[in-house]
Amino acid sequence: MGRKEDEVLELIRRNPYMSQQEMAERLKISRPSLANMISSLIREGKVLGRAYMLPEKGTVICIGGANVDRKFLLSEPLQMGTSNPVSATKSAGGVARNIAENLGRLGHEVKLLSVVGRDNDWQTIEEGSAAFMSLELTETLRELPTGSYTAVLDTDGEMMFAMADMEICDLLTPEHLSRYESVLLSAALIVIDLNCPAETVSFVQQLAESREIPLAVIAVSAPKMDRLGATLRGITWFVCNMDEAESYIGEPIKTDEQWRHAVWEFVDLGARNVAITAGERGVMAGNIQSVQHFPALPIEEMTDVTGAGDAFSSALLHGYLNTFAFPDVVKAGLTNAIKTLESPLTVRTELTAAGLKNEMEELQ
């Protein structure tokens, strides 16, 4: 690339909305020459259309749920039909948002693409998220309230049941995402959770496949597995738990052989890498080369299950982005999940890339 091209990129970097005429005058070249130069830079992927957006190398775009988590930890065993004493907490949550925060704490540049209401819950999300991700792609809307997730946990911190109001995510349509297509095309990795409508998941899959952009699809619940299409082509990583896998394939998964076969089914449908988690039984993960079982890591004391699945997905993707060997990619996920289970927080505040590396070494 020549000196003039460098000068063009510097002008665009300073002001992406500068007209070609003004740019040509600054550079003392003809406007047609400048137009040819910009066209060449666009073809090379150094500039992304109008406004002349520069590719954001290394940026992860997380698409999906951003909500407020409300957790009620029972002080005593649940008694139906009466009031039960609990300790209550409120924090920023949502699968896509949680993954974005984990990745941000691990040192990645992250942007959250979501929709939220113009309400106090959005303020909670903003306050808990802004330090770890860009929120410029998250739009506030008047039509619906910010999504919410409410969980009731037993005295040991295990989830008894949960309720999620994520209707606002239905507004994450292909038309909405197409407004940010240039940003998606520049991503090092796109992560989408299945809070998004089925047609949106399909739209992102097709975009990722056609432009060879790594894509991770993260399941959120068994009822929402119908948002995953019949083909998984274009998906670099697919992560779900055993209940979600059973819901999609329509068969029970009881034995290790059935578990292994479920991974193969997802791979056969087009996913390049698949991980199916099963709590204390560990993870079954693989690709077209092989499928293997990874035992769960030892846990000192479980405090709260909320966020453990998102922690697994996040650290797994951190390993993938840092070109870890396949077993270490999965072990990174398992390590972060265990440490999150031991924490009362949905995303643990001590998480760093160096810290995760040390924890992986300690738990081997």
> Does residue 201 form part of some domain?
yes
Are 17 and 108 contained in the same domain? Answer: no
Same-domain pairing of 219 and 328? yes
What local confidence, expressed as pLDDT, does residue 58 receive? 82
Predicted local confidence at residue 53, as pLDDT: 52
Q: Are residues 32 and 95 in the same domain?
A: no
pLDDT at 57: 63
Q: Is residue 317 part of a domain?
A: yes
Q: What is the sign, positive or negative, of the torsion defined by CA atoms of 206, 109, 138, 70?
A: positive
Tell me the pLDDT band of 357, cut-offs 50, 70 and 90.
very high
Q: Per the domain annotation, does 53 fall within a domain?
A: no
**Sheet strand arrangement including 60-63:** 110-113, 60-63, 189-193, 215-218, 237-241, 273-277, 283-287, 291-294
Q: Quick count: other Cβ atoms within 10 Å of Cβ 275?
A: 24
pLDDT band at 243 (very low <50, low <70, confident <90, very high): very high
Instruction: Supply the pLDDT for residue 43.
Output: 67
- Please tell me the least confidently modeled range out of 40-44, 203-207, 352-356: 40-44
- Asked whether residue 31 carries a pLDDT value surpassing 80, the answer given is no
In the beta sheet, which residues pair with residue 277? 241, 283
Average pLDDT over residues 278-306: 94
Among residues of the chain, what percentage have pLDDT more than 90? 78
Looking at the structure, tell me whether residues 175 and 315 fall in a common domain.
Answer: yes
User: Do residue 38 and residue 88 come from a single domain?
Assistant: no
- State pTM to two decimals: 0.83
Q: Give the residue-averaged pLDDT of 15-35.
A: 78
For residues 169 and 114, give the distance between their C-alpha atoms in angstroms, rounded to a whole number: 7
Structure tokens at 133: 């991700």
For residue 282, tell me if it sits in a domain: yes
User: Is 297 in a helix, a strand, or coil?
Assistant: coil
pLDDT for residue 49: 59
Give the residue from 303, 302, 306, 311 showing the smallest Cα distance to 336.
311
- When pLDDT is cut at 50, 70 and 90, the band that residue 227 belongs to is very high
Report the mean per-residue pLDDT for the chain.
92
Q: Is residue 123 part of a domain?
A: yes
pLDDT digits 0-9 by tens, 150-182: 999 999 888 899 998 999 999 999 999 999 988
**Strand runs (DSSP E) across 54-179, as ranges?**
60-63, 67-74, 86-93, 110-113, 115-117, 139-141, 147-153, 159-165
Domain that holds residue 13: 3-43
Q: pLDDT of 79-115, one tens digit each? A: 999 999 999 999 999 999 999 999 999 999 999 999 9
In a 3-state reduction of DSSP, which class is residue 350? coil
- Whole-number pLDDT of residue 42: 76
Do 18 and 82 belong to one domain? no
Confidence of residue 48 (pLDDT cuts 50, 70, 90): low
**Cα–Cα separations (whole angstroms), residue 145 to 117, 149, 165, 288, 291:** 4, 12, 9, 42, 42
Residue 55 in this model has a pLDDT that exceeds 60: no
Residue 233 CA to residue 95 CA, distance in Å, equals 22
What's phi and psi for 83, nearest 5 deg? -75, 140
284, pLDDT greater than 60: yes
**Higher-confidence position of 189 and 181:** 189
Q: Are residues 149 and 223 in the same domain?
A: yes
C-alpha torsion 92→153→333→352, nearest 10: 50
Give the integer Cα–Cα distance in Å for 227 and 57: 30
Let me know: does 125 contact 145? Beta carbons within 8 Å. no
Nearest to 332 by CA among 352, 316, 343: 316
Omega of the bond leading into 198 within 30 degrees of 0 (cis) = no
The answer to whether residue 125 scores a pLDDT higher than 80 is: yes
For residues 166 and 92, membership in a common domain is answered with yes
Model confidence band, residue 266 (pLDDT cutoffs 50, 70, 90): very high
The 10 Å CB-count burial string (b at 16+, else e) for 63-77 is: bbbbbbbbbbbbeee
CATH assignment of the domain containing 253 = 3.40.1190.20
Q: Which of 131, 129, 124 is nearest to 147 (CA)?
A: 124
Does 9 share its domain with 65?
no
Report the distance separating Cα 356 and Cα 19, nearest Å: 47
Per-residue pLDDT at 6? 86
Residue 17, pLDDT score: 63
Quick check: is 54 in a domain?
no
Whether residue 314 is contained in a domain is answered as: yes
The verdict on residue 48 lying in a domain is no
Q: Looking at the structure, tell me whether residues 145 and 287 fall in a common domain.
A: yes
pLDDT at 37: 83
pLDDT (0 to 100) of residue 38: 81
pLDDT of residue 126: 95
- Total domains present in the chain: 2
Residues 16, 131, single domain; the answer is: no
The pLDDT assigned to 54 comes to: 53
Q: What is the pLDDT of residue 45?
A: 73
User: Same structural domain for residues 26 and 118?
Assistant: no
pLDDT score for 10? 83
Above 90 in pLDDT, residue 35?
no
